[in-house]
Amino acid sequence: MEHVLIEPNPPRPERADAARNRMRILEAAARLFAERDPNQVTMDEIARAAGVGRGTLYRRYPDRAAIAAALLDEHERAIQEELLRGAPPLGPGAPPADRLAAFYGAMVKLLEQHAHLVLGTEVGRSRFVTGAYGFWRIHVRTLLVAAQVPDPDRLLDILLAPISPDVYLQQRVNLNYSPERITGALSYLARQITAAPTVEPEP
């Protein structure tokens, strides 16, 4: 007996018109998201801007968040690649404190360009279930372990909280802080958190 088929559902290649429409949708959505608060952009608008029917849009993307996630995907992948195999201090080789600071720097750069999009991906509590969030989490964990921070797990979500899109926009837009200033603050946080503990942990 021979297993010719291993994949449970052999994925048919995408049809030509489907691919064309997918591109149209992504382009139209990118444009709309850029010029306005993504959460105010309606699915209908995106469909019309893409020259596509509602049904077509919903076929692939169940909501705005899915579209924003698709648009964000490549940028996030690029950073993930650099974290794993790029040059220090972002990639391996530098001390944990420097790498953590560099990670924050990369996230600020990402947010500076695409904060709208990241905000657009947030539907309810969705941020934490994204694949990307899990990746950042693991990365930070590795760095904290390397820095010998006690009980690193409890700190992960706390350290990722400041790079949520709304906190970033609060600092950037409402308070008019420069990206450099925010990066500086996060570097400070990175160094202080990876420094030797000031008090002994409970016995």
Does 18 contact DNA by CB under 7 A? yes
Q: In terms of CB distance, is 9 or 198 closer to a copy of itself?
A: 198
Q: Which of the residues 81 through 110 are near a copy of itself (CB under 8 A)?
A: 97
Does 11 contact DNA by CB under 7 A? no
**36 interacts with, out of DNA, a copy of itself, none, CB within 5 to 8 A per kind:** none
Residue 135, Cβ neighbours under 10 Å: how many?
16
SS3 137: helix
Does 34 contact a copy of itself by CB under 8 A? no
Question: 83: closest CA among 95, 100, 108?
Answer: 100
- Report whether the peptide linkage leading into residue 13 is cis, meaning its omega lies within 30 degrees of zero: no
Q: In terms of CB distance, is 46 or 132 closer to DNA?
A: 46
Q: Which of 4, 16, 199, 203 lies at the binding interface for a copy of itself (CB under 8 A)?
A: 199
Alpha-carbon torsion (118, 194, 157, 85), positive or negative: positive
Torsion angle defined by CA atoms of residues 23, 81, 186 and 72, in that order, rounded to the nearest 10 degrees? 10
**21 interacts with, out of DNA, a copy of itself, none, CB within 5 to 8 A per kind:** DNA
